[in-house]
């Protein structure tokens, strides 16, 4: 003879199984099988969260198997939505691709969170050398030294190891290596191209004077 409690337990198990099946079915129905995500915007968000460097529209289009025009529209809509909603992060176009960044308004919070010394910072000499290369590239080590007035061999090696600059061929007259900034530099600066660098005219000597200095060391290296 079947106990009433056993029947009740079996009924509860059947109800639970049905609920799980309904949930799994609903979840499956919500996913676009060809896309692998509920929507194109969800797919783009998921990929950008995983990426450790900016992703281009073409990369996102290939990964989602979607037209690049639709992907470009979705990415820009997401960026606008994040800004309108005042989220703690935003989506920026940098170095030819798109990547998530913490919002500028949250900088004080982020600065408090990051302990002093937790991240390696560039020295003043490295920053000055990087600025010279960024605004005058491509140029040789000798020209950088002339502008700064000091030897920059060690600093150049540091910037190369950090991936902020790279060799860009050789100077036609001296044969010395030329250096330029990299896409990683643009990414760290949070800008899309060198055209977005802030103007420094008011902080520099007269352009003709600077050219005279550079021309005077054209034979170095």
Q: List, in sequence order, every residue forming a beta bridge with 35; answer none if it has no partner.
A: none
Is a pLDDT exceeding 50 seen at residue 12?
Answer: yes
Torsion of CA 135, 139, 141, 146, to 10 degrees: -70
Statement: residue 1 has pLDDT above 80:
no
- Rounded (10°) angle between helices 153-162 and 141-148: 120
Sign of the four-CA dihedral 40, 42, 46, 49: positive
Statement: residue 70 has pLDDT above 60: yes
φ/ψ of 168, rounded to 5, equals -130, 50
Domain boundaries, the chain: 36-116, 124-216
Contact 12, 6 (CB under 8 A): no
The predicted pLDDT at position 188 comes to 84
Q: Looking at the structure, give the CATH architecture of the domain made up of residues 124-216.
A: Orthogonal Bundle (1.10)
pLDDT digits (tens, 9 = 90+) for 162-220: 889 999 988 888 888 999 999 989 988 888 888 888 886 555 555 455 455 445 544 44
**The predicted structure's pLDDT at residue 9:** 46
| pLDDT mean across residues, the chain | 80
Please give the residue that has the higher pLDDT: either 84 or 218.
84
Share of the chain above pLDDT 90, in %: 40
Q: Are strands 89-94 and 97-102 parallel, antiparallel or unpaired?
A: antiparallel
Nearest to 99 by CA among 192, 194, 193, 196: 192
Give the whole-angstrom CA distance, residue 220 versus residue 178. 12
Res. 115: pLDDT tops 60:
no
Q: What is the percent of the chain where pLDDT is above 70?
A: 72
Tokens of 76: 């820009």
Bigger pLDDT: 154 or 112?
A: 154
CATH ID of 36-116, from 1.10.10.10, 1.10.10.60, 3.40.50.1820, 1.10.3470.10: 1.10.10.10
3-class SS shares of the chain: helix, strand, coil, % to 5: 60, 15, 30
Same fold, 36-116 and 124-216: yes
Which segment of 90-94, 98-102, 111-115, 133-137 scores lowest on mean pLDDT? 111-115
Q: How many Cα atoms sit within 13 Å of 197 on the Cβ side? A: 17
Dist CA 8 CA 168 (whole Å): 77
């Amino acid at each position: 003879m079947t106990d009433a409690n056993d029947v009740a337990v079996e009924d509860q198990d059947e109800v639970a199984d049905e609920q799980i099946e309904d949930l799994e079915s609903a979840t499956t129905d919500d996913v676009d099988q060809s896309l692998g995500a509920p929507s194109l915007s969800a797919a783009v968000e998921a990929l950008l969260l995983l990426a450790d460097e900016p992703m281009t529209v073409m990369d996102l289009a290939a990964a989602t198997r979607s037209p690049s025009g639709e992907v470009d529209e979705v990415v820009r809509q997401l960026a606008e939505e994040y800004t309108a909603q005042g989220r703690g992060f935003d989506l920026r176009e940098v170095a030819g691709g798109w990547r998530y960044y913490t919002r500028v308004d949250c900088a004080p919070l982020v600065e408090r969170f990051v302990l002093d010394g937790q991240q390696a910072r560039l020295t003043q000499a490295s920053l000055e050398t990087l600025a010279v290369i960024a605004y005058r590239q491509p140029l040789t080590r000798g020209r950088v030294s002339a502008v700064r007035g000091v030897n920059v061999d060690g600093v150049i090696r540091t910037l190369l190891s950090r991936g902020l600059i790279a060799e860009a061929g050789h100077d036609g007259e001296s044969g010395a290596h030329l250096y330029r900034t990299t896409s990683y530099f643009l990414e760290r600066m949070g800008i899309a191209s060198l055209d977005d660098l802030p103007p420094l005219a008011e902080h520099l000597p007269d352009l003709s004077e600077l050219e005279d200095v550079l021309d005077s060391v054209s034979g170095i290296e």
